[in-house]
Amino acid sequence: MSDRITVASDQDVVRVRQLVRTAAVAAKLSLVDQTKLVTAASELARNTLVYGGGGTVELISVDNGRRKGIRIVFADEGPGIADLDLALTDGYTTGGGLGLGLSGARRLVDEFDIDTKVGEGTSITVTKWCR
Amino acid sequence: MERVPVLKIGDILLVSIQIDMEDQVALQLQEDLADRIVATGCHGVIIDISALDIVDSFVGRTLATIASISRVLDAETVVVGMRPAVAITLVELGLSLPGIRTALNVELGMAMLAQDEPEPEPVGGEEEPVATS
């Protein structure tokens, strides 16, 4: 299964939450893991919108042979992140938020990869595995 | 845009969030509540989030802001009904919502506000109330 959503407005962020929730239930994640994944997706989709100027979110079902999981890719062609370490620091923000979106989302998932280039965009891939 | 209704029950404004809020809806609620506190002179606000299956940093921050605004307008806010999975996720996210009073459900939230009633307004504001009797 793979699902791609364009994120261009507040409503799309809500749509991302709903689709991730549906996928998490279908993948039989525990309730706490569902909640963590949907929350992480909400943070990252908002970042895609607010900092990346919009982009896409792709949901992919994954299976490593032992466990099933959900992978989500958030991609934008925005300004990119100049100082990644700083951006991943709790409390750091350039947007007037709490500065917990990126760092907090990373704590809520099992795998977190970020690929960013200044002037070209950012792509963040997160994975949550069934226990 | 959808709107979250604000109900007045005696001296309390009750908000039960039943929808997955867009960010704009949360900001609108913040404004609506401030207006209603001033218009009604209510001293208590209860925000029921039992229907919310997630609280992300934006909603968390909005709840904290609502509590601060209410306090400035002479009203106490109690957030009630948080689901266990939401509490676990919020803390892991890094949001422990300092300064927000919580209760397990609307009934306990109302009891908490009723207890406040005869007490004089605490001078410092921020600290949790101390039982004096």
Counting the structural domains of chain A, the total is 1
In this structure, is residue B126 part of a structural domain? no
Q: Domain limits at A72?
A: 2-129
What average pLDDT does the segment B15-43 reach?
96
- Mutation target for B interface from A17, A33, A93, A100: give the one with most B CBs within 10 A: A100
In this structure, is residue B117 part of a structural domain? no
In this structure, is residue B47 part of a structural domain? yes
| Rounded Cα gap, residues B20 and B54, in angstroms | 9
Q: Domain limits at B18?
A: 6-110
Q: Where are the alpha helices (DSSP H) in chain B?
A: 23-40, 57-72, 84-93, 106-116
Counting the structural domains of chain B, the total is 1
In this structure, is residue B102 part of a structural domain? yes
What average pLDDT does the segment B104-121 reach?
85
Q: Which residues of A89-106 are buried (b: 16+ CB within 10 A; e: fewer)?
A: eeebeeeebbbbbbbbbb
CATH of the domain at B54: 3.30.750.24
CATH of the domain at A125: 3.30.565.10
- B95 at interface of A, judged by CB pairs closer than 8 A: yes
The answer, yes or no, to whether residue B96 has pLDDT greater than 90, is no
What average pLDDT does the segment B122-133 reach?
58
* ipTM of model over 0.85: yes
Q: pLDDT per residue over A17-56, tens digit each?
A: 999 999 999 999 999 999 999 999 999 999 999 999 999 9
Chain B positions in Cβ-Cβ contact with residue A18 (cut-off 8 Å): 20
Residue length of chain A: 131
The model's pTM: 0.89
Strand ranges of the sheet holding A111-117, from the earlier edge strand across to the other edge: A2-7, A55-63, A68-76, A121-129, A111-117
Distance from the A29 Cα atom to the nearest Cα atom in chain B, whole angstroms: 13
